[in-house]
Structure 1
Amino acid sequence: MTIPHPGPAGRPAPSDTDLRAEPGSFRDPANRIFHAGPDVLRALDETAAAHWRALAGSAFFPPLMAAGKVCGTEELPAQAAPANWAALLRHERIPFVSHPYEWSFSMLRDAALLHLEILRAALPAGFTTKDGSAYNLQWRGTEPVFIDVGSFAPLAEGEPWAGYRQFCQTLLYPLLLGAHLGLDFQPWLRARVDGIEPDQMARLFKGARRFLPGVPTHVHLHGRAQRRNADRSTAAVREQLRDAGYSRELALASVRGMEKLVRRLEHEPPASHWVDYQRTCGYSEADRAAKERFVTAALTSAGRGRLVLDLGANDGRYSRIAARHADHVVAVEQDPAVVDRLYRTLRGEGERRVLPLVMDLADPSPGGGWRGVERASFAARAGADTVLALALVHHLAIGRNVPLPEVVGCLAELAAPGGRLVVEFVHPEDAMARRLLANKPDGIFPDYRRDAFEALLAARGTVEDRLELPSGSRTLYRVALGG
């Protein structure tokens, strides 16, 4: 594929006063990410700048970038570098930044395989990666892309892969949880920005489980080696490995072994209500056709946008429609099994504009990591031109007891200033609403009414269009926000 140029040719270099530091970029003192308008920039110190130039001139790196496996990157003129930095790079902007705990099993596995593929290409050329974190990867729709160009460094003979521990904790261990124990890894990664520790994994893999593929080497042996070397310096460990004959060839064989292991890992989640929701949700063919026409007209009237959020996307029916009218679509669904199926289907279709994510909208991704800003919250990353909230409001307001004003306020705030909201209200007498209300005390939701919902929408903007579906128990609205 052709990678878009990181920035328009001839764009003036940003001044120091234009630069805004990325809160999540501070752990490697050799380089730092900044933003300046639409530009994503990386400042390098003297050592990192030398490493970058060697990398850019290598035989293995430019083909990876040309194939889209590494984000598009260019070096700006020397005078563009900020004070106290030796060089400045401009990167391709990723359409929507996501976090590994928002990915499905297949997404995490594909990200892990790309990381290993890049490392396998780098080692014979005399390079390695200093980090092995899942956060070094992002997505262009269903295509993973490695973004941490500053992670590449020359490889010293006999030196182990410095990123191995991070790779295990943020990529391999979560995959082992899913493949071997049937557990959803997302809560584990969301709880700890540095991933799952070997001693935590060891407690889960005792008895016969300790012999499952990947566990003896990457959990138990890794944990023992980590404890044994806890008081030794990195230099001493490297010297011991060199004395033992550890070589580039052994490192490459180890990476190939991990690739083989990761490819074999599979996760078949149990069936859930949401997997077959489109068939069981009660829409007639007339309702479905009318709804698709309304959504298409709403997206067309808004003009081509940069980003559409499809909240409660399920099988991606409306995400695909939105992809015809926007540069990028983020399809959010709470069930990991549904998201995994959607990801695999989109990947098979070659659809590259839709990014499916796992997220419970009643408990969306908060800010995390250092000071709560190292990993930005979902709300902070949103800012969509159009927010689709179809067959969602009743699940939040009735199913999760979120007050209706809160639901509408949340949906509106996920849009960019001047954006649009396309939302569906399921009336209290609808079969699905009655099913949800059947498990609630009588009279608990007196304000869950169509007139109250419309008043909330009017307070947030201008209702430009509405449509009652043929069944008579659901209404769609197109709202221009901020009016």
Structure 2
Amino acid sequence: MVAPDLGRAVRPTPSDAGLRVEPGSFRDPANRVYHCGDDVLRALDETAAAHWRALAASTFFPPLISAGKVCGTEELSPAAAGRSLPADWAAVLRHERIPFVSHPYEWSHAMLRDAALLHLEILRAALPAGFTTKDGSAYNLQWRGSEPVFIDVGSFAPLRDGEPWAGYRQFCQTMLYPLLLGAHLGLDFQPWLRSRIDGIEADQMVRLFRGRRRLSPGVLTHVHLHGSVQRRNADRSTADVRAQLRDAGYTGEVALAAVRGMEKLVRRLDHQPSASHWVDYQRTCGYSGEDRAAKERFVAAALTSAPRHGLVLDLGANDGHYSRLAARHADYVVAVEQDPVVVDRLYRALRAEGERRVLPLVLDLADPSPGGGWRGVERASFAARASADTVLALALVHHLAIGRNVPLAEVVSCLTGLAAPGGQLVVEFVHPEDPMAARLLANKPDGIFPHYRRDTFEALLAAHGTISGRWELPAGTRTLYQVALGA
């Protein structure tokens, strides 16, 4: 089974490009993920290697690969694996490289729900074939644009008699419970998942779902009953629980019925939030038709002039207009927007279009995703993951510098720092007299931003690279810049 072609050459051996262990892959001692150049490698111990070979020979798994629901995977021969990995591993797999790794707390409600449904679909296919997944974590899924993909091939294992789904608790904590928060309480789940890498505990959910809320779909069974069972079995071993379930008649058919029931529940957990200020921002932000056309021409020319666009970051993407434009010139676009409502709408639109080159993410640039988990590196920060050939920052600077009180020099440093060496920044500066900037300044003390000026902004850009393009929009209160950044 060969990984799908994502526009990157697959080299015959990974042994010459240097080796880097994936910090987030240590929790399962049976396998470990490494990066070797552009290759993503998974090393397996004897037991995991046997499970993999049984999985690869099964009837259910290859169709999942072919359909793109599981990341492309192949086993390397000992010669192809080379000497780059420690000798005590029994087998080495090579995986398709995902264009941009994201975290569940950067997804919208519809994204998390679609990822959960894919996980359940895969489990439903695995159970009749005698396999299960050891994990149920949302982190086991990633994205090709608007298409979710399961990446933890090492999570598959043979199903044993009387064994419940080992990943059920993780699934609840990182997928089901966040969806319940949005669907039943109208709460954004992102801060909850960001604060705890293992997700939301049942005990936390119980406090939120008391009284009539207990009767909300899925709550009694998967929150209150699940929490009660956890407390009752806290002192029992896994073997004891498995034996108890087997004696009670827990079979593969029962497990499959439970998965189908979970799928039915998750499909019901939709969340249609009320409109926010940012949903209509493109209509209310004050551009004339002439300004919009000039801006689009400038951005298209900047994208066309650059020699290569592997990755474009569109910061403050809103409805994704410029993300779609960038996708015509780039391998992949990450569309960043702070409002979960806006991102959810954009994701649903991209999904309907079948767009696989634009990934929308919920992220506040004034408070971006930090490194998390063990030693702060198990989940990489946004800055560590972002190395773009082009950074688009359109109608953004004034919101950070005035709206969020970030010094202009810090804003420029942040934007340029998200680009790869030799990349470019395409940025819009909204003059202080522009109606949108004036609206923000009206809510601030007089004279608080003396350095928010066009000449200061241009000097800061010049300190980071060469201004290769400049265009003032017809209204006269906004200027666009193309900046070639230093290598």
Q: Give the TM interval when normalised to the shorter protein.
A: over 0.9
How much has 1:303 moved relative to structure 2? Answer: 3.0
- Secondary structure of 2:380's match? coil
Task: Sort the Cα spacing of 1:198 and 1:358 in 2 relative to 1 into closer, same or farther, 3 A.
Answer: same
* Equivalent residue runs for 1:179-198 within 5 Å: 179-198=183-202
How much has 1:270 moved relative to structure 2? Answer: 2.2
Aligned to 2:381: 377
Aligned to 1:159: 163
Measure the CA separation in 1 of the matches of 2:168 and 2:11: 40
- Secondary structure of 2:462's match? helix
Partner deviation per Cα, 1:400-445 (whole Å, 9 max, x = no partner): 0000000000000000000000000000000000000000000000
How much has 1:4 moved relative to structure 2? Answer: 1.5
- Secondary structure of 1:416's match? strand
8 A contact 1:331–1:357 mirrored in 2? yes
Amino acid at match of 2:35: H
How much has 1:8 moved relative to structure 2? Answer: 4.6
**Does residue 220 of structure 1 match 2:224?**
yes
- Secondary structure of 1:209's match? helix
How much has 1:3 moved relative to structure 2? Answer: 5.5
Measure the CA separation in 1 of the matches of 2:192 and 2:23: 23
Choose from 294, 297, 301 the match for 1:293. Answer: 297
Measure the CA separation in 2 of the matches of 1:376 and 1:178: 26
Aligned to 1:453: 457
* Equivalent residue runs for 1:124-163 within 5 Å: 124-163=128-167
TM-score norm. by structure 2 comes to 0.97
How much has 1:328 moved relative to structure 2? Answer: 0.2
Q: Which runs of at least 4 in structure 1 moved beyond 3 Å after TM superposition?
A: 5-10
- Secondary structure of 1:305's match? coil
Partner deviation per Cα, 1:157-209 (whole Å, 9 max, x = no partner): 11000000000000000000000000000000000000000000000000000
8 A contact 1:113–1:263 mirrored in 2? yes
Aligned to 2:12: 11
Partner deviation per Cα, 1:300-332 (whole Å, 9 max, x = no partner): 001341100000000000000000000000000
Aligned to 1:245: 249
Measure the CA separation in 2 of the matches of 1:402 and 1:8: 41
Aligned to 1:68: 68
Aligned to 2:45: 45
Partner deviation per Cα, 1:30-89 (whole Å, 9 max, x = no partner): 000000001000000000000000000000000000000000000001342631100000
- Secondary structure of 1:410's match? helix
Amino acid at match of 1:48: A
8 A contact 2:14–2:39 mirrored in 1? no
Aligned to 2:338: 334
Amino acid at match of 2:29: P
Choose from 227, 230, 234 the match for 1:230. Answer: 234
Amino acid at match of 1:428: P
Aligned to 1:442: 446
Partner deviation per Cα, 1:227-282 (whole Å, 9 max, x = no partner): 00000000000000000000000000000000000001111212211000000000
Aligned to 1:415: 419
- Secondary structure of 2:180's match? helix
8 A contact 1:101–1:185 mirrored in 2? yes
Provide the aligned length of Structure 1 versus Structure 2: 481
Measure the CA separation in 2 of the matches of 1:409 and 1:481: 11
8 A contact 2:3–2:95 mirrored in 1? no
- Secondary structure of 1:156's match? coil
Measure the CA separation in 2 of the matches of 1:10 and 1:176: 44
Aligned to 1:307: 311
Measure the CA separation in 2 of the matches of 1:470 and 1:21: 51
Q: CA RMSD in A?
A: 1.2
> Which stretch shows the higher mean deviation, 107-116 or 18-27?
18-27
Measure the CA separation in 2 of the matches of 1:53 and 1:194: 30
- Secondary structure of 1:88's match? strand
Amino acid at match of 1:61: F
Amino acid at match of 1:238: R
Measure the CA separation in 1 of the matches of 2:15 and 2:71: 20
Measure the CA separation in 2 of the matches of 1:239 and 1:403: 62
Choose from 403, 408, 432 the match for 2:407. Answer: 403
Measure the CA separation in 2 of the matches of 1:258 and 1:145: 19
Q: Can you give the 5+ residue segments of structure 2 that lack an aligned partner in the other structure?
A: none
- Percent identity of equivalent pairs: 82
Amino acid at match of 1:313: A
8 A contact 1:304–1:327 mirrored in 2? no
Amino acid at match of 2:358: V
Task: Sort the Cα spacing of 1:273 and 1:9 in 2 relative to 1 into closer, same or farther, 3 A.
Answer: closer
> Which stretch shows the higher mean deviation, 2-11 or 158-167?
2-11
Aligned to 1:54: 54
- Secondary structure of 1:69's match? coil
8 A contact 2:14–2:36 mirrored in 1? no
Aligned to 1:431: 435
Measure the CA separation in 1 of the matches of 2:271 and 2:343: 13
**Does residue 35 of structure 1 match 2:35?**
yes
8 A contact 2:76–2:93 mirrored in 1? yes
Measure the CA separation in 2 of the matches of 1:324 and 1:437: 36
8 A contact 1:3–1:68 mirrored in 2? no
How much has 1:5 moved relative to structure 2? Answer: 4.7
Measure the CA separation in 1 of the matches of 2:10 and 2:144: 22
Measure the CA separation in 2 of the matches of 1:19 and 1:393: 38
Aligned to 1:84: 88
8 A contact 2:3–2:74 mirrored in 1? no
Amino acid at match of 1:301: S
Task: Sort the Cα spacing of 1:319 and 1:201 in 2 relative to 1 into closer, same or farther, 3 A.
Answer: same
* Equivalent residue runs for 1:163-182 within 5 Å: 163-182=167-186
8 A contact 1:388–1:421 mirrored in 2? yes
Partner deviation per Cα, 1:98-125 (whole Å, 9 max, x = no partner): 0000000000000000000000000000
Measure the CA separation in 2 of the matches of 1:78 and 1:236: 40
Measure the CA separation in 2 of the matches of 1:391 and 1:10: 41
- Secondary structure of 2:405's match? coil
